[in-house]
Amino acid sequence: MATISPIPAVAAGRRPTASFTTTWLSPGTAVISVFGELDAASAPEFDAYADRHTQQADKIVIDLSGVAFFGTSGLTALSAFGERCGTSNVAWSLASGREVGRLLEVCDVDLPAHRTVTAALHAVRSKTTRSVKLIT
C-alpha cells in the first residue's frame, strides 16, 4: 500500500506554481512527483521537500513527468539534490518525461535521467545510479 503525502509549494504571498507528492513504495523507497512549474518560485520549496526525504529513504526517484515548465532553477535544484544524495548514500534517479527529457538532452547535463518512473526505479533498485546521459 502506498502512502501519499501531498505538499503544495507555496512561497509567502505567492500563488503556488508547483506541487509535490510522495509515494512510498516500501519503507526505504520513495517516488517524489512534481506537478506544475519547477521554476525560480518553486525550486527552493522543491529542494527543501526533496531534501527531507534523504533522511528517511535510501532510494529516491524524482518524477518530473507532470512538469509543465522546467526552468534553470529546477536544474540547479536537481544538481544540488544529487550532490546531497551522494554524500548521504542515497541512490536516486529521475523520470524526466518527454518535455523535460528533451531539455536535459539539449543542455547535455549529467544526471541519472530516464524517460519513465519504471526505468528510474529499476536503476535505483539495481544501484546503477551513476550519472548517465538520458536514456531514450
Q: What are the beta bridge partners of residue 91? A: 59
Q: Which helix (H) or strand (E) holds 129?
A: none
Q: What is the pLDDT of residue 104?
A: 84
The radius of gyration of the chain from alpha carbons, rounded to an integer in Å, stands at 14
> In CATH, which of 3.30.830.10, 3.30.750.24, 3.20.20.70, 3.40.50.300 is domain 19-126?
3.30.750.24
Distance CA 92, CA 61 (A): 6
Q: What pLDDT is attached to residue 1?
A: 44
Least confident of 12-16, 78-82, 121-125: 12-16
The whole-model pTM stands at 0.81
